[in-house]
Amino acid sequence: MARNDALETGELTDTSFYILLSLVEARHGYLIMKNIEELTNNKFSIGPASMYTTIKKLLSAGMIEQMKEEADKRKTYIATKQGLELLKNDIQRREMMIHHAKQILNGGVNE
């Protein structure tokens, strides 16, 4: 399945995951990028083109919404209730993936 369809299946790409996580609180584009870098100790970063492409997809899917434009014209976004639910579900999915990987890497020992 194409990566563009990931939101439809309820799975987030890493970029979508970190943007949605950053938008638990309202932020504009630059603050989203800085938050992700700080959160991951600069191990994950998103460029402006990728970020705004992903924001557009999250907006059209109803996962985030644009708040009123600030006086300085910066667009500020925040996660919707639907977006927060998707984020929580994706965290559970990722935790299960890690659990399975640990089982296999630890010789099949049930944890």
> In angstroms, rounded to a whole number, what is the distance separating the alpha carbons of residues 77 and 46?
16
Query: What pTM did the predictor assign?
Result: 0.85
> In angstroms, rounded to a whole number, what is the distance separating the alpha carbons of residues 109 and 13?
29
Q: Which CATH architecture has domain 3-105?
A: Orthogonal Bundle (1.10)
Strand, coil or helix: 78? strand
41: which 2 tokens? 């100790």
18 HSE (CA, 13 A, CB side): 21
What is the helix (H) or strand (E) element at residue 106, kind and residue range?
none
What is the reported pLDDT for 74?
85
Phi/psi for 69 (5° steps) reads -65, 140
Give the domain ranges of the chain.
3-105
What is the reported pLDDT for 10?
77
Query: Would you give per-residue pLDDT tens digits along the chain (111 residues)?
Result: 344 466 777 789 999 999 999 999 999 999 999 999 999 999 999 999 999 999 999 999 999 999 977 667 789 999 999 999 999 999 999 999 999 999 999 976 555
